[in-house]
Amino acid sequence: MTIRRKLLIAFLFIAVLSSVVTTVLLSFTTRSLFDWYVQSNTEARATQWQRLLAAYYTERGSWDGVGALIRSTQFVRGRGGPRHLMMPPATAGPERIILADQTGRIIADSSGTDIGLFLTDMTIPSRLPITVNGEVVGSVAIVTGFQKGLMTLEAAFLRRMTTTSIIGGAIIALIGIGLAFIFSRHLSQPLSKLAIAARQMASGNFDVKLEVSTGDEMEEVAHAFNFMKDSLKANEEARHKLVADVAHELRTPLSVLRGNLESMQEGITEPTQETIVSLHDEVLRLSRIVQDLLNLGQMESGGFPLNLELTNIVEVITRVTSVFAAETDARGIRLETNIQGTLPHTQADPDRIVQVLVNLLANAVHHTPDGGEISVSASRIDDNIVVSVTDSGPGIAKEDLPHVFDRFYRTDRARDRAAGGTGLGLAIVKGIITAHKGSIRVESEPGVSTTFTFSLPVLPSD
């Protein structure tokens, strides 16, 4: 069931429920008000007779002749002029007055039917005692035909109110259906767009863009969807690029191996020592590419193994710079080490930090011209050990800086891949530093220098 249909049903249910509740409340309220009016009217009439009969008993000292007074009610209308004290109250319609003495026996009845019976045996709602000088001398009761007339009017009015409520409820239901149709369309239309866009994206179309301008949560969902779409598009492009780069990287050494092996099989070339060494180098190159890809996969999945121990970063720097000392001396490159102060130990995998420094220094040596300078510095800044490798090479173009840590990215596209390595070194460097909960960045000024800087957290006790 669609959301639009659910909303229509919900609005219709609310409209019908409101109509029913309104009808019931109106009927109950009207009946209560009519009952109260009838009861109040009857009690007011009984009070008037109570006062009149009390005055009659006070004046006469007994109930003698009271029957004539009570029977005269059918002739009294009393509208307009003043009444005598002994004149009965004006009636609003036919009514029956019943008077009983102090024993409860009826001594006067305007209808003349129940004289001699006891008032206590009759069910009469409006009955009041008559008190003279603190003594109950009788009681008066009123039965009016006006009550039946009111009940008839009440029933007619309630029927009219019920009919009106039903009609009003139907109108409310129609309005509710109209509003439900408008609101459901307003709410479901962005969801329909979202569903269509999701299906297009699932089919591989990442150029779709969801446009929703509702100013509410639906617009936030649309923005989140577009952000997710852009992220998936970027990941998909990166995946395609990775597959193409891996295929390209593997194709070169595989082509070399295949060509040489086929030449040997066909007797074109002899399996000399030099040829075997060349083929072995290509195999090592293939193994290195595969191992680097495996390491990157582990880094991205959070499963990259680290053998953490207390590590003296100064010893690591000294060990790595000594490896490159012979090459830099041969090319006249000045390799300097600058350690600022006494650095604390850090919790790290020393072999992986060596791998980081080897990659950074290898890149620096490769890009630094003969007679240039390379500087390795280390210092403590706040709660981090910061290590920088700076070379005086040609630098990195501004547009290349955001991509230097990407897989298979080369800043010098003119160099062949054999001379440029696998293109995975800096990506692995970043993965290793990130696995140590550190950070790495690069700064470069083309034609002047390039600086790679990474930081590692120090131990809390230090």
Q: Which residues contact 77 (CB under 8 A, 6 or more apart)?
A: 90, 91
Residue that wins the pLDDT comparison between 165 and 121: 165
Cα dist. 302→133, 435, 440 in Å?
Answer: 104, 8, 18
Q: Which residues contact 34 (CB under 8 A, 6 or more apart)?
A: 150, 151, 153, 154, 157
Per-residue confidence (pLDDT) for residue 389, from 0 to 100: 94
pLDDT band at 126 (very low <50, low <70, confident <90, very high): low
The arithmetic mean of pLDDT across residues 280-294, rounded, is 78
CA atoms within 13 A on the CB side of 215: 0
* Residue 9 in tokens: 């049903």
Chain CA centroid to CA 199, Å: 23
The arithmetic mean of pLDDT across residues 293-298, rounded, is 75
Coil/strand/helix, residue 165: helix
341-377 burial code (b ≥16 CB/10 A, e <16) = eebebbbbbbebbbbbbbbbbbbbbebbeeebbbbbb
The arithmetic mean of pLDDT across residues 230-234, rounded, is 81
* Boundaries of every domain in the chain: 3-149, 217-301, 309-457
Nearest-CA neighbor of 312 among 338, 337, 342? 342
Share of the chain above pLDDT 90, in %: 14
The arithmetic mean of pLDDT across residues 235-260, rounded, is 74
Nearest-CA neighbor of 56 among 47, 46, 69, 43? 69
Per-residue confidence (pLDDT) for residue 415, from 0 to 100: 43
Indicate the CATH number of 309-457 among 1.20.120.430, 1.20.120.1200, 3.30.70.20, 3.30.565.10: 3.30.565.10
Largest CA distance in the chain: 158
Per-residue confidence (pLDDT) for residue 85, from 0 to 100: 42
Beta bridge partners of 375: 336, 390
Q: Say whether pLDDT at 73 is over 70.
A: no
CATH number for the domain whose boundaries are 217-301: 1.10.287.130
The arithmetic mean of pLDDT across residues 253-279, rounded, is 82
pLDDT band at 75 (very low <50, low <70, confident <90, very high): very low
Residue 118: DSSP 8-state: B
- Neighbouring C-beta atoms of residue 215, cutoff 10 Å: 8
Per-residue confidence (pLDDT) for residue 454, from 0 to 100: 95
pLDDT band at 76 (very low <50, low <70, confident <90, very high): very low
Per-residue confidence (pLDDT) for residue 442, from 0 to 100: 93
Per-residue confidence (pLDDT) for residue 247, from 0 to 100: 75
Q: pLDDT averaged over the chain?
A: 78
Residue that wins the pLDDT comparison between 156 and 150: 156
Per-residue confidence (pLDDT) for residue 337, from 0 to 100: 92
Per-residue confidence (pLDDT) for residue 242, from 0 to 100: 67
Residue 343: DSSP 8-state: P
Report CA Rg, the chain.
53
Ramachandran quadrant class, 332 (left: phi over 0; alpha: psi -120 to 50; beta: rest) = left
Q: Which residues contact 238 (CB under 8 A, 6 or more apart)?
A: none
* Residue 242 in tokens: 């990775």
130's enclosing H/E stretch is strand 127-132
Instruction: Please write the tens of the pLDDT for every residue from 152-190.
Output: 665 676 677 777 767 776 777 677 677 777 777 777 777
* Residue 16 in tokens: 């019908």
The arithmetic mean of pLDDT across residues 404-418, rounded, is 62
Share of the chain above pLDDT 70, in %: 80
Q: Say whether pLDDT at 125 is over 70.
A: no
Nearest-CA neighbor of 214 among 180, 192, 186? 186
Q: Say whether pLDDT at 445 is over 70.
A: yes
Dihedral (C-alpha) 350, 354, 356, 362: value to the nearest 10 degrees?
180
Per-residue confidence (pLDDT) for residue 419, from 0 to 100: 46
Specify the range with the lowest mean pLDDT, choosing from 126-140, 412-426, 447-461: 412-426
Residue that wins the pLDDT comparison between 462 and 158: 158
* Residue 177 in tokens: 């259906």
Q: Which residues contact 81 (CB under 8 A, 6 or more apart)?
A: none
pLDDT band at 6 (very low <50, low <70, confident <90, very high): confident
Residue that wins the pLDDT comparison between 206 and 434: 434
pLDDT band at 272 (very low <50, low <70, confident <90, very high): confident
The arithmetic mean of pLDDT across residues 94-117, rounded, is 83
Which strand ranges, in their side-by-side order, compose the sheet holding 135-144? 106-109, 95-101, 135-144, 127-132
Instruction: Please write the tens of the pLDDT for every residue from 355-409.
Output: 899 989 988 998 899 999 999 999 999 889 999 999 998 888 888 888 888 877 7
**Strand extents, DSSP E, 333-391:** 334-339, 346-348, 373-381, 384-391
CATH number for the domain whose boundaries are 3-149: 3.30.450
Using CA atoms, how far apart are residues 144 and 109, in angstroms rounded to an integer?
13
Cα dist. 41→45, 208, 314, 356 in Å?
Answer: 6, 77, 108, 103
